[in-house]
Structure 1
Amino acid sequence: MKLIGSTASPFVRKVRVVLAEKKLDCEFELEDVWSAETAIHLANPLGQVPCLVMEDGSSMYDSRVIAEYLDTLTPVCKLLPPNGRDRADVKVWEALSDGVADAAVLVRLEKTLRPAEQQSVAWIERQMGKVHAGLAVMSANLGESPFCKGNHYTLADVAVGCTLGWLLFRFPEIDWRGDYANLARLFDKLSERPSFKESVPQ
């Protein structure tokens, strides 16, 4: 397998963390999708990373699809419950976390790709509203639990940790650590895992 991605993307990092936790060997190929020379469309017609190229040359894309697939390849560090409400709860955590990251990415693109006079303040405020609302719900749902889903490390924690790390990287002005002490505790604990140490955004 080969993972195509960037070291800055929270979605690519999520897949890299899953690969490390599952102890799966996978080549990592750096790709800048914004470069004029990018060839990402040859593997993913949507032009996005992460993209997992399989042994038979076929491609798998979207971090949620890839992460779920990788969890089936080995029983090492199972990240998703087998079925039922528990599995759905973990997937909702992942969707919430990815949604916060998606909204923040849209803000970054608006501010970096558009000239200042063309930027939409209303659009930026709308997306930032999603970021702050999502963080508040994450904190409320986490409560005093050691992990997002009870007492077990799951894909929910991987997704949340990658999103929080990316916010620190790209939006240091958002003081989620000061606002949500429980998220800060969770993030600090996750950051001690080798899989997170080896994939810090750059």
Structure 2
Amino acid sequence: MKLIGSLTSPFVRKVRIVMAEKKLDYVFELDNVWGADSKVGLANPLGQVPCLVMEDGGVMYDSRVIAEYLDTLTPVCKLFPPNSRDRAAVKVWEALADGVLDAAVLVRLETTLRPPEQQSAPWIARQLGKVHAGLGVMAADLGEQPFCMGIHYTLADVAVGGALGWLAFRFPDIDWRSDYPNLARLSDKLSERASFKDTVPREA
């Protein structure tokens, strides 16, 4: 399998963590979707990463789709529970983490791609409001549990840990560690896993 992605995308990191946890072999092909020489559009018509190209030439995109598929390939470190209600709960956690990232990414694009005089302060505030609201719900739902789903490590933790790591990388002024000590504890615990250590976001 070949994974097309970047070293900074939190959605690519989610898939890389899943690959590592599942002990799956793959080729990692770096691609800058904003570069003139970007090739991901040849595989993904949306021009987005991550994009998974399978051995038979089939293509998958969207980190949620890819992660769920990868979990079926081997019984090693099952990241989705078999129970339908628990499985849905994991996907809700993932949707929340991805939603926080979607809003934060939009803020970053607005503030880095537009000159200051063209930026919309109300729109930025609206997106940041989603980030803070999402963090608050994450913290409330986590409570004092060791992992998002209780005692079991799942894709919920991969998604939440990746979101928190990206916020620390791109938005260090959002002090979620002080506001939500339980999220900080979870993040610290996850950061000790090899899959997280090996995929820390960084500029190429």
Q: TM-score range by the shorter chain?
A: over 0.9
The 4+ residue runs of structure 1 with deviation greater than 3 A are none
C-alpha distance in 2 between matches for 1:111 and 1:139 = 27
Unaligned ranges ≥5, structure 2: none
Q: Deviations for 1:136-187, whole angstroms, at most 9, x for unmatched residues?
A: 0000000000000010000000000000000000000000000000000000
C-alpha distance in 1 between matches for 2:181 and 2:83 = 31
- Between stretches 81-90 and 10-19, larger displacement belongs to 81-90
Residue number in structure 2 paired with 1:13 = 13
Residue number in structure 2 paired with 1:97 = 97
AA in 2 matched with 1:86: D
- Between stretches 49-58 and 155-164, larger displacement belongs to 49-58
TM-score, normalised with respect to structure 1: 0.99
C-alpha distance in 1 between matches for 2:16 and 2:83 = 24
Q: Does structure 1 residue 193 correspond to structure 2 residue 193?
A: yes
Residue number in structure 2 paired with 1:120 = 120
C-alpha distance in 1 between matches for 2:20 and 2:39 = 26
Q: Does structure 1 residue 47 correspond to structure 2 residue 47?
A: yes
1:46-195 alignment runs, 5 A limit = 46-195=46-195
C-alpha distance in 1 between matches for 2:63 and 2:40 = 15
C-alpha distance in 2 between matches for 1:112 and 1:83 = 43
C-alpha distance in 2 between matches for 1:83 and 1:121 = 44
Unaligned ranges ≥5, structure 1: none
Residue number in structure 1 paired with 2:2 = 2
AA in 1 matched with 2:147: F
C-alpha distance in 1 between matches for 2:59 and 2:83 = 26
TM-score, normalised with respect to structure 2: 0.98
RMSD: 0.5
Aligned-residue sequence identity (percent) comes to 78
AA in 2 matched with 1:10: P
Secondary structure at the residue paired with 2:32?
A: coil
C-alpha distance in 1 between matches for 2:133 and 2:26 = 35
